[in-house]
Structure 1
């Protein structure tokens, strides 16, 4: 990949993960066109597979050049898998989070309003990535990710986490039934809902995910505070595409890995 192309890929980094190869990527620097113009990496988007493959290559090269990129078939679950070796995209497991202690592997999570979460215990040499939509977040996908990291030698108090670009509270209107699901789990969840139009609420997905991480013992949690819905030039958004009546939508990717020994 040329320096020009590398520079064009839009990569946000978290201070909490400094020193770890990672990035929350936007749509800048890709080759897709039309409604999915940019760095669309979603196999399920209906985009040209050749363009998706090139976008994935560019994403990988922007964060960990030459590393195999591992993603999962995301199903809005709380399930997390341990990655010990590369797999083919066609054989990717159904899950919503990945962890590894193997250097040289790049973990990726796709989002288009859901919250991407990247985690690292530098001392243990363990990293993780989680796709936290409201279903997965409520079901415990971040808790499962932390638990699997601990199986590999991580400790919660040493793990740093960052919550990347996702739909923000002002853009995320939900109804009474949605809010009730959270209140049934814990009345304290009400703190993440602000009153909106009659019978509706504004949900703070980023805040909810960050609080789940803190409750699990993660001492350092960074919020990037970027609204995917409100920034069409930089991010893909499922809800925005739905409101506009667009036939499909792109997906951005968030990546983390352990550098291979030189």
Structure 2
């Protein structure tokens, strides 16, 4: 259920795998995405199971309506159910104990925390979002609230790797023109993009030194959902919160 977990100075980071939930094929088992065609009750149950396994209140986790952009929202608690969830790809909170979540199935889930300032953030960085600068936008929002880059801890979760993310050459050139570190080649010698490498390069330029990247490639791992592998599939989640 929780494939990876890390705690640094009271900042908690966790990434799920696909097992331990109740969803049926093709979303088996722990699909946490509510907009992929799965049974809504199964998704609610899965979110409850995942949250409780982390010691979190399922109703207090803040989710996003992700659209591959670079908009950031500062949040205090879950969205007003009557107003709906706005389209954002990064959320930031100054409330300790408030868990933020990001959904992925090949894109890079980015979790950030400044334990001293008590500021946490979660960002969804696919290829479009990485180019648009969603991670720098999240970092700037954190800094405006008092975070210091040298104190920020960054963790990126399971995502498709640069050896597998094949793209047309014009697309690779377009991405590399914005973020050279994302230039990659597949293991079979064709053009590729390494989104995680691009994200970590952006973090480094901001002065974020405490960074770690998951070794899991979602396309290669049967324990993780991959949109490129399955198209109709579930979503993994990354969670971040502060004591």
| TM score, norm. by length of structure 2 | 0.92
Once the two structures are superposed, residues 186-212 of structure 1 have per-residue CA deviations (whole angstroms, 9 ceiling, x without a partner) of: 5x34x63126768x4122221111111
User: What is the distance in 1 between the residues matched to 2:14 and 2:21?
Assistant: 15
More helix per residue? 1
Corresponding residue number in structure 1 for 2:73: 81
Q: Tell me the secondary structure at the aligned position of residue 196 of structure 2.
A: helix
Q: Tell me the secondary structure at the aligned position of residue 211 of structure 1.
A: helix
The ranges of structure 1 where at least 4 consecutive aligned residues each deviate by more than 3 angstroms after the TM superposition are 195-198
Unaligned runs of 5+ in 1: 1-8, 243-247
User: What is the distance in 1 between the residues matched to 2:236 and 2:186?
Assistant: 30
Unaligned runs of 5+ in 2: none
Q: Tell me the secondary structure at the aligned position of residue 131 of structure 1.
A: strand
| Mapping 1:48-63, distance limit 5 Å | 48-63=39-54
Cα drift, residue 21 of structure 1: 2.7
One of 5, 9, 13 as aligned partner of 1:13: 5
How many pairs were matched up?
A: 241
Q: Tell me the secondary structure at the aligned position of residue 206 of structure 1.
A: helix
Corresponding residue number in structure 2 for 1:245: none
User: What is the distance in 2 between the residues matched to 1:31 and 1:18?
Assistant: 34
User: What is the distance in 2 between the residues matched to 1:106 and 1:192?
Assistant: 33
| 8 A contact 1:14–1:222 mirrored in 2 | no
Give the alignment's Cα RMSD to 1 decimal.
1.9
Cα drift, residue 138 of structure 1: 1.0
Corresponding residue number in structure 2 for 1:3: none
| 1:132 lines up with 2:121 in the alignment | no
Cα drift, residue 185 of structure 1: 2.5
User: What is the distance in 1 between the residues matched to 2:26 and 2:139?
Assistant: 36
Cα drift, residue 87 of structure 1: 1.5
| 8 A contact 1:70–1:87 mirrored in 2 | yes
| Mapping 1:84-95, distance limit 5 Å | 84-88=76-80, 91-95=84-88
Q: Looking at CA atoms only, which structure, 1 or 2, has the larger radius of gyration?
A: 1
User: What is the distance in 2 between the residues matched to 1:79 and 1:37?
Assistant: 31
